Chain A
Amino acid sequence: MKIQGWLYSDSSSQRHVAILEYCTDGNIKIQLAGEFIPNINCTVEELEISKRIGNTARFISLPSHAKFETEHNNEVDALIAAASVKGQVKQHSFSTLTHRVESSALFVVMIMSLLVVSSWLFIQHGIPYFSNEIAAALPEDIGAQIGQGSLEILDESIMQTSELLPTRKALLKLEFEQLVPDDYGRSITLIFRKSDIVGANAFALPSDTVLFTDELVQLATSDEELKTIMLHEIAHIVHRHSLRRLIQQSGLALLVVLITGDISTTSSMIIALPAMLFESKYSQEMETEADSFALNHLTEHRINPIHFANIMTRMEQSHDSVNLENDISTNDSNTRKSIQHYFSSHPATETRIQRFRDATLN
């Protein structure tokens, strides 16, 4: 078996036309054409053959550090195959396989579908599952550390001091403490703020704190209504949603880096849009989870679920343009909800209200 190519010595860029010959006994003979240079003899075990990548030139290192370069890829592959059949060399099965997969249209399409399906599964199930597990495994006070300062930021930007009567606040706080499940093991604080910008709304802050706006308290016709919302916000804290959101975002960023192979792309617009879609999907899942928690505990505290439906309906009427992280309202108006649904951090309000109405009937 003969292969034509170039030969370079170990010391200079001098190029010789050469023929590499493989004999079945495992010996290699390299003949240099038209020059008075002795042939090079060695065995096939001593060769170091570069892996095949597409149809790029192959480089064969000789024991004397000389190098043989050839474009005849198929002949080189045949040489390796023939020598490995005889046990003279070990074939690198992995790199051969890689090349075979890379150069077959069928395999490439299959691999691509594998990539799409596995990324999809990872986003759908992997990230939510792992974020839940990781959040549960992290120390209890980590939320407080992460949430440090988030209340200060709110106070400086959109919140003002509450104008509610101290007695009213004290009563609501008392009612709130009774709703916190005993097995949570930590206390959750309820605080009040006035906010013209946000309007009637409630927030679960990472640092074991729930914030009600004065406007929300004024909107309620009974304390029962406020209790349903308290339970929803308590669920966010008990299930460590803000921590999970952080982990989910990191998970998405990791996937993006793996696919694009570039850390700086995470900030680019083409990547940001689909990432936003998935983040709002996770967010909606957490809202549903908080609703379920509230529903379960409402019966325990003998509160009619219809109160949640009532105050949600009123909140939606009171404002339709405010939408903030972890808040309980939503900006979905009935007419344009279908497209917005995908980008919203909350499930469609209608669906949520209906769920509580159904529970009432039962």
Chain B
Amino acid sequence: MQIDTQGFSEKPFKFNGNAWEYFGIWVVNITLTVLTVGIYSAWAKVRTQQYFYGNTQLDHSAFQYLATPIQILKGRLVAVLVFGFYYTLNAINPLWGLLLTALIMLLIPIIIVMSMSFRMRNTAYRNITFRFQKNYKQAYLVYVAPVLVLIAIIVSAILMTNNLESPSAESETSLPFSIAAMILISPFLYPLWEYLKTRFLVTNTLFGTSPFNFEANAINFYKVYLAATMLLILVVALISALLASLDMSSLQNTDNFSEAMSTLGGSAVMLSSIVIGVYLWLFAYIQTKKTNMIFSNISLNNMPLESQLSVTYMFFLYISNTVAIIVSVGLLIPWTMIRTARYRANTLTLLSDKDLNHFVASQQIEQNAMGEEFGDIFDIDIGL
């Protein structure tokens, strides 16, 4: 179901943030957070969010972050208390800690839904807030069911292998092989799972009363990983061919043994840096292509988004940001945040054949920050 975008005009996103301006906010945030033993962190979070939302414009109107520091503080307090409880429990008896971890794992879908709902409810554009439908049943289906299937496969595989060792299973030797095959297949199901998760998050989001549509299918996700795998194979083949020819020629030219060894050592250093580079580039490739694919398949009232991140530039961004943060002992963190946000906004556009005046607001419902802060403290990645 592709939208015919002929005659559509581009409504670009724009980010107006400024590194030096944000640096001031950042420094004050950290200092007051330390001096108030963490209480100010709620205010700091709100100021940071408001800065980034407020500087993001679509068609000359800015986004607004609506959550209040007190909401964030309450959520944080509860999350910190639970974390402290977990920490103590874990110190006293690791088994109880494990049980609590399992319990929290079971609650992850709820936390994700609450977190998304809070985030969307507190994002406004043109005086209309976003929403996230609290579809808990679907959340459990999407996040927990595949994990259960995987666990079932592994457990049955272990049981089958045990059975094989006992003489009674002689007649069914083919069964464990099929189980092993299923375990091998599991990674190939990952893109499908990613697709289901993304679809769940996108299609449950609304702007006012208008739901977002997600036009991608699982094949789009598979294509990204397939292309990445092909590229990896190609690069590895190229490098090994190159290295083989290099080593041969250099070894032939040197009579001295130690000289030959040092050439080999040099190429080992070169090889490892190439491997790290390839790894990072592959990471950038998958992230970028996936982001582009996901966003370009999101539409609102038949107006599609379009994301045009470049892999090369994202790769450059990752590396230069990391180097800048290390060299500056963290002082350039605000700068890296601003330039990343600017690049992402600059590559995102909304295609539209009409103005953005026709969206209708929905009823307001209060929402607490519990889920959001839970997700933050326990490092639960929602991934959008």
Residues of A whose CB lies within 8 Å of any CB of B are: 6, 8-15, 50-51, 53-57, 59, 65-67, 69, 98, 101-105, 107-108, 111-112, 114-115, 118-119, 146, 255, 257-259, 261, 263-264, 270
Given A15-B357, A261-B44, 8 further pairs, Cβ under 8 A: A9-B127, A13-B128, A54-B51, A54-B55, A56-B53, A102-B25, A108-B24, A118-B35
Binds A, one of B240-248, B260-268, B358-366: B358-366
> Majority SS of interface residues in chain A?
mixed
> What is the bound-complex CA distance between A14 and B31, given in angstroms?
41
Proximity bits, B34-54, A CB within 8 Å = 1, else 0: 110110010011010011011
- Provide a sorted-by-A list of 10 A–B residue pairs whose CB atoms are within 8 angstroms: A13-B361, A15-B126, A53-B54, A57-B64, A102-B24, A102-B28, A107-B24, A115-B30, A258-B30, A270-B326
Name the contact of B30 in the complex, choosing from A53, A54, A259, A264 (C-beta under 8 A).
A259
Do B326 and A112 touch (CB < 8 A)? no
- Residue with the greatest number of chain A CB neighbours at <10 A, chosen from B54, B64, B83, B325: B54
> What is the bound-complex CA distance between A259 and B30, given in angstroms?
6
Q: Which of B111-135 contact A (CB under 8 A)?
A: 125-128
B61: interface (CB < 8 Å): yes
Do A69 and B17 touch (CB < 8 A)? no
Name the contact of B16 in the complex, choosing from A55, A65, A119, A261 (C-beta under 8 A).
A55
Residues of A contacting B38 in the complex (Cβ-Cβ under 8 angstroms): 257-258
On whether A56 and B55 interact (CB within 8 A), knowing A6-B61, A9-B127, A13-B357, the answer reads yes
Name the contact of B25 in the complex, choosing from A54, A114, A261 (C-beta under 8 A).
A54
Residues of B contacting A112 in the complex (Cβ-Cβ under 8 angstroms): 27, 31
> What is the bound-complex CA distance between A138 and B29, given in angstroms?
34
Do A69 and B34 touch (CB < 8 A)? no
B332: interface (CB < 8 Å): no
Proximity bits, B128-167, A CB within 8 Å = 1, else 0: 1000000000000000000000000000000000000000
Residues of B contacting A257 in the complex (Cβ-Cβ under 8 angstroms): 38
B62: interface (CB < 8 Å): yes
Residues of A contacting B217 in the complex (Cβ-Cβ under 8 angstroms): none
Do B62 and A261 touch (CB < 8 A)? no
Chain B residue nearest to A58 in the complex (CB): B54
Name the contact of B358 in the complex, choosing from A12, A55, A115 (C-beta under 8 A).
A12
Do A111 and B41 touch (CB < 8 A)? no
> What is the bound-complex CA distance between A104 and B360, given in angstroms?
41
Chain B residue nearest to A269 in the complex (CB): B326
Do B360 and A101 touch (CB < 8 A)? no
B356: interface (CB < 8 Å): yes
Residues of B contacting A263 in the complex (Cβ-Cβ under 8 angstroms): 83, 377, 379
Residues of B contacting A11 in the complex (Cβ-Cβ under 8 angstroms): 360-361
Residues of A contacting B44 in the complex (Cβ-Cβ under 8 angstroms): 261
> What is the bound-complex CA distance between A98 and B46, given in angstroms?
13
Nearest CB in chain A: distance from B372 CB, A: 14
Nearest CB in chain A: distance from B21 CB, A: 5
Chain A residue nearest to B41 in the complex (CB): A261
Residues of B contacting A146 in the complex (Cβ-Cβ under 8 angstroms): 91
Residues of A contacting B17 in the complex (Cβ-Cβ under 8 angstroms): 54
B193: interface (CB < 8 Å): no
Residues of A contacting B51 in the complex (Cβ-Cβ under 8 angstroms): 53-54, 56
Residues of A contacting B33 in the complex (Cβ-Cβ under 8 angstroms): 258-259, 261
> What is the bound-complex CA distance between A10 and B128, given in angstroms?
8
B22: interface (CB < 8 Å): yes
Do B31 and A115 touch (CB < 8 A)? yes
B222: interface (CB < 8 Å): no
Chain B residue nearest to A14 in the complex (CB): B357
B254: interface (CB < 8 Å): no
Residues of A contacting B35 in the complex (Cβ-Cβ under 8 angstroms): 118
Nearest CB in chain A: distance from B132 CB, A: 18
Chain B residue nearest to A12 in the complex (CB): B360
Residues of A contacting B18 in the complex (Cβ-Cβ under 8 angstroms): 54-55
On whether A57 and B34 interact (CB within 8 A), knowing A12-B357, A13-B359, the answer reads no
Do B34 and A115 touch (CB < 8 A)? yes
Residues of A contacting B34 in the complex (Cβ-Cβ under 8 angstroms): 115, 118-119, 255, 258-259
Name the contact of A56 in the complex, choosing from B54, B126, B358 (C-beta under 8 A).
B54
Do A54 and B22 touch (CB < 8 A)? yes
Nearest CB in chain B: distance from A90 CB, A: 18
Q: 8 closest Cβ contacts across the A-B interface?
A: A56-B54, A8-B127, A13-B359, A102-B24, A57-B62, A67-B127, A13-B126, A115-B31
Nearest CB in chain A: distance from B22 CB, A: 7
Chain A residue nearest to B126 in the complex (CB): A13
Residues of B contacting A101 in the complex (Cβ-Cβ under 8 angstroms): 24, 28
Do B54 and A108 touch (CB < 8 A)? no
Chain A residue nearest to B36 in the complex (CB): A258
> What is the bound-complex CA distance between A258 and B35, given in angstroms?
9
B208: interface (CB < 8 Å): yes
B283: interface (CB < 8 Å): no
> What is the bound-complex CA distance between A10 and B208, given in angstroms?
11
Name the contact of A103 in the complex, choosing from B24, B41, B53, B377 (C-beta under 8 A).
B24
Chain A residue nearest to B378 in the complex (CB): A263
> What is the bound-complex CA distance between A295 and B162, given in angstroms?
63
Residues of A contacting B357 in the complex (Cβ-Cβ under 8 angstroms): 12-15
- Residue with the greatest number of chain A CB neighbours at <10 A, chosen from B22, B31, B53: B31
> What is the bound-complex CA distance between A65 and B128, given in angstroms?
11
Name the contact of A53 in the complex, choosing from B27, B47, B330 (C-beta under 8 A).
B47
Nearest CB in chain A: distance from B211 CB, A: 15
> What is the bound-complex CA distance between A66 and B359, given in angstroms?
15
Do B126 and A55 touch (CB < 8 A)? no
> What is the bound-complex CA distance between A54 and B50, given in angstroms?
10
B225: interface (CB < 8 Å): no
B23: interface (CB < 8 Å): yes
Do B23 and A108 touch (CB < 8 A)? yes
Do B22 and A12 touch (CB < 8 A)? no
On whether A8 and B25 interact (CB within 8 A), knowing A54-B18, A263-B379, the answer reads no
Chain A residue nearest to B24 in the complex (CB): A102
> What is the bound-complex CA distance between A67 and B128, given in angstroms?
10
Chain A residue nearest to B377 in the complex (CB): A263
Nearest CB in chain B: distance from A275 CB, A: 14
Nearest CB in chain B: distance from A163 CB, A: 35
Do A12 and B55 touch (CB < 8 A)? no
Chain A residue nearest to B128 in the complex (CB): A13
Residues of B contacting A9 in the complex (Cβ-Cβ under 8 angstroms): 127
Proximity bits, B4-30, A CB within 8 Å = 1, else 0: 000000000000111001111101111
Residues of B contacting A12 in the complex (Cβ-Cβ under 8 angstroms): 128, 357-361
Chain A residue nearest to B55 in the complex (CB): A56
Chain B residue nearest to A61 in the complex (CB): B127
Nearest CB in chain A: distance from B271 CB, A: 23
Nearest CB in chain B: distance from A329 CB, A: 30
